[in-house]
Amino acid sequence: MDTNPIYLIPARGGSKGIPHKNIKILGGKPLIHYAIANALTLTDDDAHRRIIVSTDDARIAEVALAAAADITIRRRPEALATDTAATQDVIIDAMDYADSLGMVYDCVVLLQPTSPLRRPEDIRRGLAMYAAARGTCDMVVSVCRAAANPYYDLMESDSNGYLHVSKGDGRYTRRQDAPAVWQYNGAAYVIDPEAVRTTPMLKMRRRLPLEMEAARSIDLDTPRDWAIAETLINELRQ
C-alpha cells in the first residue's frame, strides 16, 4: 500500500550550540542540503513542491532553494521561531500551509537537518512501516539501540539514597540478556496528520520504532558532534 507524504524540513535561524548550523558547510555542502537531497530522492520531479522547508530565516530559505528551486518555503510565524517553540506546532503550521496550497497527503515525513547520516532507504522503510500499519499507527519514529539500559545499568536512588536498577528486579547480569530499549535519534518521523493535531507527540500510544545503526544516529547539537560527523562523512567517501 502506497503513501502520499509531504516532507517537512524544519530549519530555524537561531541555533546557539552551533551558530548558523543549518547552513554551515559539512562535508562540502550546507547541512540542510542533506535533508533536501533525501526528500528529492523520494519524490518525483513534478512533486518537489511537496518538500516544505519551514524557516524564519531569509538566508536559510535562499540556501534551501539553491538545492532545488521548486521546493516550497514556509516562512513560519515569529511565535514559531523561538527557542521554546514546539516541533509539533511547527508541524501543524506546515500542514495548514500545505492545506492552503491544495496539497493532499496522508502522512507527514519530518526530516530534521541535524541528521546528515540518514539515508533515503531509512525513510523508505519508515514509509513502508506506516503504510502497513495504516489506521493503527500514530507515528513511525527512527531510533537506535540505547547505550544504557534501565533493566541493567541505569539506576535510581531510593528514599534512603541507595541505588537500585531503574526497571525490573535486577535479575539481568548481562546486557545482552536484558530487554531491548530504544533511543530516539531525531533522524526521521512518519506522522499521521490527524494524530499530530490531537495528541502530544510524546503521548502518542501507537508509535513504531524504525531502527537505525548507532553509527549513523548522530544528531548535531554541539561542535563535538559536528567534528564527529565530518570524520564519519569523510570515511564514507573513501
How far is C-alpha 95 from the chain's CA centre? Answer: 16
Beta-sheet pairing, 107-110 with 207-211: unpaired
Instruction: Pick the closest to residue 36 from 109, 142, 125 (CA basis).
Output: 109
* Residue given cell 510565524 in the structure block: 77
Single-letter code of the amino acid located at 126: G
**Taking the CA atoms of the chain, what radius of gyration do you get in angstroms?**
19
Strand order in the sheet with 107-110: 72-75, 51-55, 5-10, 107-110, 182-191, 139-145, 207-211
Distance, CA of 217 to CA of 193 (rounded, Å): 25
Instruction: Pick the closest to residue 233 from 65, 115, 60 (CA basis).
Output: 115
Distance, CA of 12 to CA of 46 (rounded, Å): 27
Single-letter code of the amino acid located at 56: D
- Beta carbons of 154 and 166 less than 8 angstroms apart: yes
Ramachandran angles phi, psi of 60, nearest 5°:
-60, -45
Distance, CA of 108 to CA of 36 (rounded, Å): 15
Helix (H, G, I), strand (E, B) or coil at 15: coil
First to last CA, the chain: 38
Q: Which domains does the chain have, with CATH numbers?
A: 5-144+182-237 (3.90.550.10), 147-180 (no CATH)
- Rounded to two decimals, the pTM is 0.92
Q: Using alpha carbons, list the distances in angstroms from residue 185 to 2, 60, 66, 145.
A: 25, 23, 27, 10
**Tens digit of each residue's pLDDT, the chain (238 residues):** 589 999 999 999 988 778 899 999 999 999 999 999 999 999 998 899 999 999 999 999 999 999 999 999 999 999 998 888 999 999 999 999 999 999 999 999 999 999 999 999 999 999 999 999 999 999 999 999 999 999 999 999 999 999 999 999 889 888 888 999 999 999 999 999 999 999 999 999 999 999 999 989 999 999 999 999 999 998 877 6
